[in-house]
Amino acid sequence: MVTVIVDLHNHSSASDGELSPEDLLQRAQGLGVELMALTDHDTIDGYLALRQSASATAPTLQLIPGVELSCVWSKMLIHVVGLDFDADNESLRQALLGQQQARRQRAQLIAAKLEKYGFSGGYDYACDLAGESQIGRPHFAQFLLDKGYVSSLNQAYKKYLGAGKAGDVKLTWPAMASAIDWIVRAGGVAVLAHPLHYKITATKMRALLGDFKAGGGRAIEVICGQQNKDRTQYLSQLATQFELMGSVGSDFHRPGSPWSELGKAGPLPRACVPVWSQFTASLGS
């Protein structure tokens, strides 16, 4: 059996990661990653920036298309990772434009709410901070800090942007079934991201996995970042029970977080069918 260092869940500055797509790719190769999907939130801009030069920049690493889609199941925010799809698929491109438009509308609502406190200019400032990446609450937190409205980023969330505060604006995301359908129609594989992040009961987890599979989902992240063996074993059992393949990812966002370093999540349990066996058979399992 060939052992391949795989990382199929990570983020660049095209969404909420710290490193540029180019720097992330080079870091991954330096750490020995052989198969990688860049899975930015609701955008493939980072992947598109890399796909022409990836083989020259990181010759020992195979890069595949990836994305992490935000969606809703049973009134809960769920993330679905899409892998190995046609990045030029027009219906997927249009769906992603819709996702990004929803994020911009949310940012405008956050700015409007902050205006009521006398904090004007937040939207333009946050857009400038975001640059080509997706605008979000971290940019508004930095705006509040830079303008002296708060004394720390933590205070920005505690007073204005955290859960239940004025700037905690919820988005209207598509149903999970729709997100899965976008991926499948583009020829990709839909993977349920970090299943244990959702803080649900075992019964509800089984319901989620049942609906996920019924909608066309084919794999779950059995390993997401460095996690204990009990969690890995539990997710491996669920994958087997629901006849879903297993995926592995770090959920890397920035250097300095050893528990989510690129390529360090560990090997997939042997009981699991690796999701990459569907699109990288030459790399083995």
In a domain, 18, yes or no: yes
CA neighbor of 65 nearest in space, from 49, 20, 245? 49
Q: Provide DSSP, 46-67.
A: HHHHHTTTHHHHSTT-EEE-EE
* C-alpha to C-alpha distances, 172 to 73, 87, 106, 177, 282, nearest whole angstrom: 12, 24, 9, 15, 40
Q: Lay out the sheet containing 66-73: strands in order across.
A: 66-73, 76-83, 189-192, 219-224, 245-249
Q: Does residue 19 sit in the same domain as residue 152? A: no
Q: Does residue 204 sit in the same domain as residue 278? A: yes
**pTM (two decimals):** 0.90
* C-alpha to C-alpha distances, 237 to 67, 207, 215, 241, nearest whole angstrom: 26, 15, 20, 6
Report the distance separating Cα 63 and Cα 42, nearest Å.
Answer: 18
Domain span at 57: 6-89+176-283
CA neighbor of 233 nearest in space, from 196, 199, 192? 196
User: Mapping DSSP to helix (H, G, I), strand (E, B) and coil, where does residue 119 land?
Assistant: coil
- Cβ atoms within 10 A of the Cβ of 49, count? 18
The last residue of one of the domains, among 136, 161, 186, is 161
Could you tell me the two tokens for 38?
Answer: 């860049």
The last residue of one of the domains, among 161, 193, 209, is 161
Q: Does residue 34 sit in the same domain as residue 130? A: no
- Residue 132's pLDDT is 81
Q: Does residue 133 sit in the same domain as residue 269? A: no
Q: Does residue 238 sit in the same domain as residue 264? A: yes
Q: Does residue 239 sit in the same domain as residue 279? A: yes
Q: Does residue 80 sit in the same domain as residue 180? A: yes
The last residue of one of the domains, among 112, 132, 161, is 161
Q: Does residue 84 sit in the same domain as residue 109? A: no
Could you tell me the two tokens for 146?
Answer: 């830079």
Radius of gyration of the chain (CA): 19
- Residue 36's pLDDT is 97
Q: Does residue 275 sit in the same domain as residue 182? A: yes
Q: Does residue 239 sit in the same domain as residue 184? A: yes
Q: Which residue has the tokens 């892998």?
A: 83
- Residue 276's pLDDT is 95
CATH number of the domain at 39, please: 3.20.20.140
Report the distance separating Cα 210 and Cα 144, nearest Å.
Answer: 43
When divided into structural domains, the chain yields a total of: 2
Q: Does residue 196 sit in the same domain as residue 279? A: yes
- Residue 131's pLDDT is 86
In a domain, 171, yes or no: no
In a domain, 167, yes or no: no
- Residue 2's pLDDT is 58
Identity of residue 258:
P
In a domain, 125, yes or no: yes
Report the distance separating Cα 18 and Cα 133, nearest Å.
Answer: 10
- Residue 248's pLDDT is 98
Which residue spans within the chain are E strands per DSSP?
6-7, 35-37, 62-64, 66-73, 76-83, 189-192, 219-224, 245-249
Q: Does residue 200 sit in the same domain as residue 244? A: yes
- pLDDT per residue of the chain (285 residues) written in tens, 0 to 9: 457 899 999 999 999 899 999 999 999 999 999 999 999 999 999 999 999 889 888 999 999 999 999 999 999 999 999 999 999 999 999 999 999 998 899 999 999 999 999 999 999 999 999 888 888 888 999 999 999 999 999 999 999 999 889 888 888 899 999 999 999 999 999 999 999 999 899 999 999 999 999 999 999 999 999 999 999 999 999 999 999 999 999 999 999 998 999 999 989 999 999 999 988 544 544
In a domain, 262, yes or no: yes
In a domain, 21, yes or no: yes
In a domain, 166, yes or no: no
Q: Lay out the sheet containing 6-7: strands in order across.
A: 6-7, 35-37, 62-64
CATH number of the domain at 153, please: 1.10.150.650
- Residue 280's pLDDT is 57
